[in-house]
Amino acid sequence: MSLLQTADVERILAELSRKRPVFHSEGDFQFALAFKMQQKRPHLRLRLETPVISKGRPRVDILASCEGCVLFLELKYLPRSLHAQVQIAEGEHETYDLCDQAREWGRYDFLKDITRIETWVAECTQHCPEAVGYAILLTNDQNYWNKLNDENAKDYAFQLHDNRTIAGGEVLTWGERATASDVKGRKHPIVLRWGYRFQWRDYSELAPPLAKPLRGSRIDHGKFRYLLVRVPPSG
């Protein structure tokens, strides 16, 4: 059996959201999630930003291992502009000042994370047939979980909207509108080994009394959701 089932990861994220409904950065999210995993599963050996023996020697965000079995976790934190003070204790608030990030790159990079995990899981099959991986995207930008209306959008093939299904072997490429700067460092098509259906889940909502706006009278983009994708064993 794999080290963590999908329901286990969902429960860990649910507990994390009660203490950390929002994060300052992807690194902040990574550390907080690893810490919560260690609390819930103290038998796991957890390592952050660990090199993986693979072509190009990339690093995995979180590597969990126990008794020869491994689990790979890749995280994306892609916030939309948000300016708020969030309560962390009675009478104590923490300030969050988040900026927009390029959605087309975010979509591509998340799918690329899945292909990376697929490769790592396949490479581990001989010594750990139950090796699995999870890709997690956390965002307050509804453009990720809503379907694009413009079929000519340059990143239409990479969209991650709720209930989208991608077949294994399907070739995902940039649209004709994509410029050289759009695809710089991301020109290669995305081809997933397995098929996936994307299902978004609620993570948190920043609203009074938990949070208060830094500017204006309300908090924009206060709803956070996450996409959790399980990469299965290759055996």
Q: What is the pLDDT of residues 185-220, one digit of tens each?
A: 999 999 999 999 999 999 999 988 889 888 776 888
- Paired residues of 193 in beta bridges: none
Q: Which of 158, 163, 74 is nearest to 117 (CA)?
A: 74
Nearest-5° Cα angle at 20, 18 to 25: 155
What pLDDT shows up at residue 171?
A: 97
Residue 79: CB partners within 8 Å, gap ≥ 6?
98, 99, 100, 101, 139, 140, 141, 221
Give 24-56 pLDDT, tens digit per residue.
Answer: 999 999 999 999 999 999 999 999 999 886 666
As a whole number of angstroms, the distance between CA 211 and CA 183 comes to 38
The DSSP bridge pattern shows strands 171-172 and 190-191 to be: antiparallel
Record the pTM.
Answer: 0.94
Read off the pLDDT band of 91 (50, 70, 90): confident
